[in-house]
Chain A
Amino acid sequence: MTAVSLPSLLPLWIIAVPLAGAALLAGVGRHRRLLGPVVLGTGGLCLGLVVVLVMTVRLGFQPELSLMELVPPLRFVLRADALGTLFALLIASLFPLATAYALRFMADDSRLQGFLALVLLCQALMLGVAFAASLITLLAFYELFSLISYVLIVHERSPRARAAGLKYILYIVSGGVFILTGIILVYFLAADVRFVPGGLLDSGTTHPAALVAWICFMVGFGIKAALMPLHGWVADAHPAAPTPFSALLSGIMVAAGSFGILRVVFETFGVELLGRLGVMPWLAAAAGLSALLAGALALGEDEFKRRLAYSTVSQMAYVVMAAAMLGELALVGGLVHLSHHAFIKAGLFFCAGLIVTVTGYKHVSQFDGLAQRMPATAILLTLLALAMVGVPPLSGFVSKWLLGAGLMEAGGILPLLVLLLGSLLAAAYLWPVIFRIWLPGPEPNDAASHSEQAPGLMLSMLAATAGITLLLGLAASLPGLPLELARMAAAAMIGGGG
């Protein structure tokens, strides 16, 4: 450990805090009154540290910390560059929202304590993914959090949850094998597995192994990123998992797959090599198809959470499509979309959870006239759904605009067409929800079956996501918000040269 300075320890601290929180939770045992303080304290502390990190990174520092060395070139290294910091910011702000939501949503659950501890553990591991500075570090954290996610998905232990969990784990484990194969190939080609801005591999490589490695990575991360033929687990895992975790799953976990793709594309292969290999148009085509087909599938789902899950598949495909354009503006658009989508989608899942808590309804066809029973939720749901469609001046519009401009610059009119058709589809699958809620049909629903107030804590978490959505829309360019970090990250990853 040479020259360990305080900023360079920051990533480690950020990872350690949720770990300690998880340990504390295991320690406080059955004292349920302590759950809230511990969970929120950890989340808040972690978020505070990440904010400090964001400020550090904006000043141009890049904290780096070598943890341990396996075999000489294989080292566990943490580094907080702009991309990682952006991702860490998302994780650190979304996890506390979801855990706080879970405190009320799962208040009757006797295993809440274990659930929360595992969520915190998951948070720590995801932060590790964000800060990973080499493929092997990334893989380690990535596999660990994927495995822990399994436990969280099957938390309800119903046959449905177990079946969905099994499907999830089958997909993810095979994805991990692909990634490992890719790493071995990269090691074989470059004798190193670090992430280097601009690309680790020699841009003149003609070895066929490079192509095979690329395919392996795309399949491996594509499974997590729910790229279309590999998306099977998404639509089952989301409705089966407890709602707070569905929000995380959709907002962040799927994004982790896209994050992996971005890392590999720009920091292992590099723009030049991929441009020469000529493989990115295929990825773009797959992502475009994925965006449209998933939108179409979402339209056919009546269960709200499944509909949202397909919507995630569709939205995350834009990010991959933007990455496949290999253009700087498109990359900014993709990153901003990834960040803005996280909050919108988490908010929509919070809505689904609130509706289930208050009314017990899970299907869109039951939502007639909900606005009379839960007006606040209805307003926020409408706001978030419109943001998802990309209506100005909400955050969804900003990311759609940047994506559109980037796609137009790099790929011409066809990707733009996909984006616009996709947002039309988004309107098609979210509009019936809004419409049913506000304008019920002539025949009234079995009104007020058990009319209870929407729980304040859950509602305030929902309001927080909606507030962030509004803020990211009206003032997207404030310093420290995702847009600025995304610009820094894109500049470093494409212009960086290595």
Chain B
Amino acid sequence: MNMLSALVLLPLLAACLLPILRSRDGQNALAVATVVLVLVGLLSMAPAIVQGEPASARLPGLLGHFHFLADPFGLVFALVGTFVWLSATIYATAYLGDDPARPRFLSICLVLLAANLGVFLAADLLTLFVFFELLGLVAVLVVVHSGSEEARSAGITYFWMTLAGGIALLAAVLAVQSQAGSLAWQPLPEAVSSGWRWTIFGLMLVGFGVKAGMVPLHIWLPAAHPVAPAPASAILSGVIIKAGAYGLFRCMNMLMSASPGTSAWSQAVDMGLVLTLFGIATLVIGVVLALGQHSAKRMLAWHSVSQMGFVITGLGLGAFLAGDGAMATAGGLLHVVNHALFKSCLFLGAGAVALRTGSADMYRLGGLWRDMPVTFTCMLIAAAGITGMPLFNGFVSKCMIHHGLVEAGQREGGQVLVYAEWLYLAACAGTAASFIKFIGLIFLKRPRQPHPVRVREAHPAMLVGMLLPIIPIAWLGWRPHGLLESVFSPALAGQGISPQPITYYLEHYFLSGQDLAASVGMLGGGLVVFVAGMKFGWFTLSLPRTLGVAWWYRRMGVGMIDLCLRLARLAAAARAAVPERMQTLYRKPSWRAAGRLVRPGRSKLPRDALFEALNRQRDRLLGTADRLARRDQARYPGDALVNSSHMFAGWLGTELVRRGMVSHRGTAAEIAADETFCQKLAERAVGLARKQLDEGLETVEIQQALSELDPVLGPDRAPSDHNWPERRWPAELADMALAPDHAHWPVSESLAQGALIRAVRGRVRKVAQDLSTGLLVAFLILMLLGLFLMSQ
């Protein structure tokens, strides 16, 4: 075990230790110290790795070993992730306050950190898959942390999407293993056919795309990120979705990369184009939906979708431009780093605002710059980063991707990618509009109604959490050269991609007049969209839900469950070989019943209307009998008549309910509503009571009273645990074999008391006793034999 595996194990160990600590400060200190240790460990390894000496390690487990490898890409992802974790953990120590679930939350965060490191440092696909699944499924716990109805619903969506993505990824990994014969991150052999290449690409696109929030697999993201506690949102949006981008990057640049000129190479270029188009769709749809949000956190979540679109576009363009794609790929990777920084900061800030004011609705807030100046400054800088203001980090990566897009448009011949460029610029303007709205509504605008109590600045620990990412946001906007030239360039060169475009960008384009002009134009466009949107109410339009993919996914899921239910019903119907049962068993499974299985606990159990009606009739019968009896009460001593009437009426009522339930439903329902019949029964009950008090009753008469029920409910059918004399034994036997739940044992009940059975039982018991003694003796003999053999 060396440093690398220790880094992955350390958070897991800390997560186990954390609940043992009793004191709050101890838990906080442990969590923060663990993250700091991991960060320091990664930093200490960084110089050697950037020099081109990747570190590798392995841990025993599963089918042999987990293999880890830290190359520059994995290291950058891991470092940025851990940095965000640090700020979120520091923030969480104050944010959680006295939440009773805080040890659980901190532990889960540490487990997630370990899983995240495992994903970024995995050396083979199996290790990656294991940690990827762990990351996805453990994250359910932070999504449902609050336990609210919204969180439940988001948790369900999240779980299913993650699981479906995981299954697609597993299929992809198995396909890679069967085709390439190895699970390492290396190019697929040339011999792998194009069908398999596209299958693997498609499966990975789904598997990683779900995690990356790629349209149309993004539906879980805007649901899950806002409901999690703020530090968890920062981790989810800042780091965990990057696992998807990381996987796509590895898939495009390592599995699919091929030597130029081969057919595999042209397929990789086509895949790059497909990925680019998905990226463009993601970034446009994300921005459009973000503009329509009221809640700050939901808006940020939609922007996560959109920003992942930028990343995916960059990666796709890199693959499309193949050997010349260094700038776009590096832009995509840099955007991963940038987005992790500013999105976590934004989520933390929105969380702080929501915590202090009690609301995340942008339209209700306002004027907070005065009350929360530090938070305001942080948010301003982070918003400048995400909108791509010059001198802030988003500017660099967005420009790089844009240049890549222009170049790809020229190469592709101006069919699709020209429109893609327009959409790209429009999305940038939309982002600007969105964040003008964010800053303007929350911090600058005069509030609609003044806050009842003065809003205080956030807790210092929360401020530290927000301030930490601010430094790299500004630094990367000012000097991106270090990261681009000394980390990404050599690493991409190691993959056979010429780093020359990156150098060219930094020398000729970075902060050039052209880029600045584009940036200003985009900001102006954003301002126009914002003003027009506020004026004409564009931001409050809502789209029909059939337009969203979520609605269709749910339809599909419910449809599948419904199909399964139908199958189950059919099976039950087939088992009930008797045709008349078909109808009662094959009741049409309803959407509601299916929905109950998909989203359990939402609706109540179905109520049996017939039983309730009969029960009401029974109560009515008791009441009527009571009234009738009280009329003649004086003629008998004390309450004798009333009590006796109650007894008879209750008995008749119970019989009514019982026989109503086994008889034909229609008739029973009629009876249950028939008041004259009730009156008649009540009179009968009082009559019986009177007769009993006057002259005593015969048993026969009580039985006769029941015959009142016969004409309306039909003759009393035997309750279900007796024989059915009208049926013949083959039907009986078949029924018992096929549908035992409904069938009954016709003979044994009577035989069980018979003399024959008693005799046989006695004999069997005796034989069994003899047998057991015999076995004991046999065992002893065996043992002696064994001892004898052993002594030889």
Interface residue ranges, A against B (CB under 8 Å): 4, 6, 9, 12-13, 16, 19-20, 22-24, 26-27, 117, 159-160, 162-164, 166-167, 170-171, 232, 236, 240, 293, 295-297, 299-301, 364-365, 368, 386, 389, 391-393, 397-398, 400-402, 404-405, 408-409, 413, 416-417, 420, 423-425, 427-428, 431-432, 435-436, 438-443, 473-477, 483
Kindly provide the distance from the CB of A16 to the nearest chain B CB, expressed in whole angstroms.
5
Q: Which of A13, A297, A409 is the one whose CB lies under 8 Å from B568?
A: A297
User: What are the 8 closest A-B residue pairs judged by CB atoms, nearest first?
Assistant: A300-B568, A441-B601, A163-B740, A26-B772, A20-B779, A296-B564, A23-B775, A392-B130
C-alpha gap A9/B785 in the complex (Å)? 11
A9-B789, A297-B568, A299-B568 as given contacts; A405 in contact with B178, CB under 8 Å: yes
Interface of chain B residues 737 through 792 with chain A (CB within 8 A): 737-738, 740-741, 743-745, 748, 768-769, 772-773, 775-776, 778-779, 782, 786, 789-790
A163-B745, A166-B736 as given contacts; A392 in contact with B134, CB under 8 Å: yes
Kindly provide the distance from the CB of B589 to the nearest chain A CB, expressed in whole angstroms.
8
- Which residues of B sit under 8 angstroms from A474, Cβ to Cβ? 61-62
Kindly provide the distance from the CB of B377 to the nearest chain A CB, expressed in whole angstroms.
39
A393-B61, A473-B62 as given contacts; A439 in contact with B601, CB under 8 Å: yes
- Which residues of A sit under 8 angstroms from B560, Cβ to Cβ? 428
Kindly provide the distance from the CB of B743 to the nearest chain A CB, expressed in whole angstroms.
5
Kindly provide the distance from the CB of B156 to the nearest chain A CB, expressed in whole angstroms.
7
Kindly provide the distance from the CB of B667 to the nearest chain A CB, expressed in whole angstroms.
28
Q: Which of A9, A167, A296, A408 is the one whose CB lies under 8 Å from B737?
A: A167
- Which residues of A sit under 8 angstroms from B178, Cβ to Cβ? 405, 408-409
**At the interface, yes or no: B101 with Cβ under 8 Å from chain A?**
no
- Which residues of B sit under 8 angstroms from A162, Cβ to Cβ? 745, 748
Whether A404 lies near B147 (C-beta < 8 A) is no
**Closest B residue to A19 using CB positions:** B775
Whether A424 lies near B167 (C-beta < 8 A) is yes
Whether A26 lies near B768 (C-beta < 8 A) is yes
The interface-forming segment of B32-40, B168-176, B356-364, B516-524 is: B168-176
- Which residues of B sit under 8 angstroms from A166, Cβ to Cβ? 736-737, 740, 745
Whether A296 lies near B779 (C-beta < 8 A) is no
- Which residues of B sit under 8 angstroms from A171, Cβ to Cβ? 737
- Which residues of A sit under 8 angstroms from B129, Cβ to Cβ? 392
Whether A439 lies near B152 (C-beta < 8 A) is yes
Pairs A–B under 8 Å by Cβ, sample size 27: A13-B782, A20-B775, A23-B776, A26-B772, A27-B772, A159-B744, A160-B740, A162-B745, A171-B737, A236-B740, A236-B741, A299-B561, A299-B564, A300-B568, A365-B600, A368-B600, A386-B137, A402-B63, A413-B175, A420-B171, A427-B163, A435-B156, A436-B600, A440-B601, A442-B601, A477-B63, A483-B63
Whether A420 lies near B170 (C-beta < 8 A) is yes
C-alpha gap A401/B170 in the complex (Å)? 8
- Which residues of A sit under 8 angstroms from B737, Cβ to Cβ? 166-167, 170-171, 232
Interface of chain B residues 148 through 163 with chain A (CB within 8 A): 149, 152, 155-156, 159, 163
C-alpha gap A279/B164 in the complex (Å)? 33
Interface residue ranges, B against A (CB under 8 Å): 60-64, 126, 129-130, 133-134, 137, 144, 147, 149, 152, 155-156, 159, 163-164, 167, 170-171, 174-175, 177-178, 199, 560-561, 563-565, 567-569, 571, 575, 596-597, 600-602, 604-605, 721, 736-738, 740-741, 743-745, 748, 768-769, 772-773, 775-776, 778-779, 782, 786, 789-790
Kindly provide the distance from the CB of B702 to the nearest chain A CB, expressed in whole angstroms.
29
Q: A297-B564, A386-B137 are in contact. List 17 more A-B contacts (CB 8 A).
A: A9-B786, A19-B778, A20-B779, A26-B772, A117-B772, A163-B745, A167-B736, A232-B737, A232-B738, A240-B740, A296-B568, A368-B600, A393-B61, A397-B130, A400-B170, A405-B177, A427-B163
Q: Which of A26, A299, A398, A424 is the one whose CB lies under 8 Å from B63?
A: A398
C-alpha gap A297/B574 in the complex (Å)? 13
Whether B775 lies near A22 (C-beta < 8 A) is yes
Kindly provide the distance from the CB of A280 to the nearest chain B CB, expressed in whole angstroms.
20
C-alpha gap A13/B776 in the complex (Å)? 14
A13-B786, A164-B740 as given contacts; A159 in contact with B745, CB under 8 Å: yes
**Closest A residue to B571 using CB positions:** A297
**Closest A residue to B772 using CB positions:** A26
Q: Which of B63, B134, B564, B776 is the one whose CB lies under 8 Å from A300?
A: B564
**Closest A residue to B785 using CB positions:** A9
- Which residues of B sit under 8 angstroms from A475, Cβ to Cβ? 60-62
C-alpha gap A257/B368 in the complex (Å)? 71
**Closest B residue to A161 using CB positions:** B740
Q: Which of A20, A240, A391, A435 is the one whose CB lies under 8 Å from B137?
A: A391
C-alpha gap A273/B147 in the complex (Å)? 59
Whether B736 lies near A300 (C-beta < 8 A) is no
C-alpha gap A424/B557 in the complex (Å)? 11
Kindly provide the distance from the CB of A110 to the nearest chain B CB, expressed in whole angstroms.
15
C-alpha gap A497/B736 in the complex (Å)? 46
Whether A368 lies near B775 (C-beta < 8 A) is no
C-alpha gap A308/B171 in the complex (Å)? 26
C-alpha gap A364/B604 in the complex (Å)? 14
Whether B743 lies near A163 (C-beta < 8 A) is yes
- Which residues of A sit under 8 angstroms from B569, Cβ to Cβ? 300
Whether B600 lies near A432 (C-beta < 8 A) is yes
- Which residues of B sit under 8 angstroms from A13, Cβ to Cβ? 782, 786
- Which residues of A sit under 8 angstroms from B149, Cβ to Cβ? 442
Whether A408 lies near B174 (C-beta < 8 A) is yes
Whether B605 lies near A365 (C-beta < 8 A) is yes
C-alpha gap A413/B168 in the complex (Å)? 13
Whether A405 lies near B775 (C-beta < 8 A) is no
Whether A392 lies near B567 (C-beta < 8 A) is no
A393-B130, A393-B134, A431-B159 as given contacts; A163 in contact with B144, CB under 8 Å: no
Q: Which of A164, A393, A439 is the one whose CB lies under 8 Å from B62?
A: A393
- Which residues of B sit under 8 angstroms from A432, Cβ to Cβ? 597, 600
C-alpha gap A77/B602 in the complex (Å)? 59
C-alpha gap A441/B605 in the complex (Å)? 12
- Which residues of B sit under 8 angstroms from A296, Cβ to Cβ? 563-564, 567-568
Kindly provide the distance from the CB of B45 to the nearest chain A CB, expressed in whole angstroms.
25
C-alpha gap A203/B600 in the complex (Å)? 55
C-alpha gap A12/B62 in the complex (Å)? 34
Among B137, B167, B790, find the residue whose CB has the most chain A CB atoms closer than 10 A.
B167
- Which residues of A sit under 8 angstroms from B147, Cβ to Cβ? 439
- Which residues of A sit under 8 angstroms from B152, Cβ to Cβ? 439
**Closest B residue to A428 using CB positions:** B561
- Which residues of A sit under 8 angstroms from B561, Cβ to Cβ? 299, 428
- Which residues of B sit under 8 angstroms from A364, Cβ to Cβ? 600
**Closest A residue to B65 using CB positions:** A477
Q: Which of B164, B745, B768 is the one whose CB lies under 8 Å from A424?
A: B164
C-alpha gap A370/B545 in the complex (Å)? 35
Whether A23 lies near B772 (C-beta < 8 A) is yes
Kindly provide the distance from the CB of B790 to the nearest chain A CB, expressed in whole angstroms.
7
C-alpha gap A438/B104 in the complex (Å)? 14
Whether B740 lies near A167 (C-beta < 8 A) is yes
- Which residues of B sit under 8 angstroms from A232, Cβ to Cβ? 575, 737-738
Whether A159 lies near B721 (C-beta < 8 A) is yes
Kindly provide the distance from the CB of A113 to the nearest chain B CB, expressed in whole angstroms.
11
- Which residues of A sit under 8 angstroms from B736, Cβ to Cβ? 163, 166-167
A299-B568, A365-B605, A474-B61 as given contacts; A4 in contact with B789, CB under 8 Å: yes
- Which residues of A sit under 8 angstroms from B155, Cβ to Cβ? 435, 439
C-alpha gap A424/B199 in the complex (Å)? 19
- Which residues of B sit under 8 angstroms from A4, Cβ to Cβ? 789
Kindly provide the distance from the CB of B585 to the nearest chain A CB, expressed in whole angstroms.
12
- Which residues of A sit under 8 angstroms from B177, Cβ to Cβ? 405, 408
Q: Which of B174, B567, B602, B776 is the one whose CB lies under 8 Å from A27?
A: B776
Whether B745 lies near A24 (C-beta < 8 A) is no
C-alpha gap A463/B773 in the complex (Å)? 37
**Closest A residue to B152 using CB positions:** A439
Whether A299 lies near B597 (C-beta < 8 A) is yes
**Closest A residue to B589 using CB positions:** A300
**Closest B residue to A435 using CB positions:** B600
- Which residues of A sit under 8 angstroms from B134, Cβ to Cβ? 392-393
